[in-house]
């Protein structure tokens, strides 16, 4: 297994206890008036509170195998960041579901059932491998967001601020679960297998949540697919360029800091004009 890589200088894990004024705007088509682009982000948000609590739990279950005091400090920072993310996305999701007449509990239920089954039948190290895979996906999505202005072009400023905040902190702690996994004796084969499973589950959960969010909006399936695929994979598609970082995860020598997250670092240092840094 690869050894832990150093983070970029001055790029420590910093929990920011932000509260975003999103209750009213989250109930609207906040992404440039587009119900489809809005639904993509909202569908992702609906996965986060359950997922982030799962990530915290899987890392903490194997924390006793960590002897490096620096990594232990990073686990504490990771836990604090993820807990605040879960809180803010819970508020976000409550507003979205209230506006659409949906139940947060019902939308979260398939993920909760999957976690319950896995906890019953799969070992803790395999759970941590799943967290490692999810953390890499969120990190490369965050990097794509910072690199491609089209990702949040036209979005309401408060919602853009929330997603930038979340993306920055995902970048800061992106190696923590991986380094705990290495310390706990995780294998390359288990890591690779986890990514295949996670990729399938994330795609399925995203599509299912979007279907619920867009039901009754009077949009044809053709329009939904055309706009969604264009936004994600078109000429300015927000997911263009992520194949390389995704594929790198399967390398035996992979480490999350092989991809430095340089644009997130620029945002952290205030080199971009973003009001949430003030």
The full DSSP string for 223-247 is: HHHHHHHHHHHSTT-TTTT-HHHHH
Nearest to 105 by CA among 120, 95, 94: 94
How far are the Cα atoms of 10, 58, 80, 138 from residue 53, in angstroms, in the given order? 27, 9, 11, 15
What are the helix (H) ranges across 173-239?
176-183, 188-214, 221-233
What are the tokens at 267? 């945002």
Is a pLDDT exceeding 60 seen at residue 79?
Answer: yes
Most confident of 3-7, 13-17, 123-127: 123-127
Does the pLDDT of residue 275 top 50, yes or no? no
Q: Where do the structural domains in the chain lie, given as residue ranges?
A: 32-277
Give buried/exposed letters for 95-109 (b at 16+ CB in 10 A, else e): bbbeebebebeebbe
Q: Which residue carries 């084969």 as its tokens?
A: 189
Mean pLDDT of the chain: 90
């Amino acid at each position: 297994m690869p050894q832990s890589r150093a983070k970029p200088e001055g790029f420590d894990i910093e929990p920011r206890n932000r509260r975003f004024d999103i209750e009213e705007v989250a109930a609207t088509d906040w992404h440039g008036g587009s119900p489809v682009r809005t639904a993509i982000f909202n569908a992702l948000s609906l996965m986060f509170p359950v997922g982030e609590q799962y990530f915290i739990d899987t890392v903490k279950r194997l924390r006793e195998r960590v002897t490096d005091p620096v990594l232990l400090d990073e686990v504490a920072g990771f836990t604090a960041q993820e807990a605040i993310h879960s809180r803010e996305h819970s508020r976000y999701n409550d507003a979205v579901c209230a506006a659409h007449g949906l139940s947060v509990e019902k939308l979260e239920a398939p993920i909760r059932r999957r976690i319950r089954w896995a906890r019953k039948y799969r070992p803790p190290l395999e759970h941590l491998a799943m967290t490692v895979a999810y953390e890499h996906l969120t990190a490369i999505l965050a990097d794509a967001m910072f690199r491609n202005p089209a990702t949040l072009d036209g979005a309401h400023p408060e919602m853009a601020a929330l997603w930038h905040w979340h993306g920055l902190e995902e970048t800061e702690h992106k190696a923590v679960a991986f380094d705990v996994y290495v310390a706990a004796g995780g294998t390359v084969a288990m890591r690779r297998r986890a990514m295949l499973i996670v990729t399938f589950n994330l795609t399925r959960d995203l599509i299912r949540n979007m279907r619920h969010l867009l039901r009754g909006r009077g949009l044809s399936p053709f329009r939904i697919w055309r706009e969604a695929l264009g936004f994600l994979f078109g000429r300015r598609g927000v997911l263009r360029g992520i194949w390389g970082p995704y594929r790198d995860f399967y390398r035996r020598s992979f480490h999350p800091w092989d991809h430095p997250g340089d644009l997130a670092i620029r945002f952290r240092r205030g080199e971009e004009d973003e009001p949430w840094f003030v």
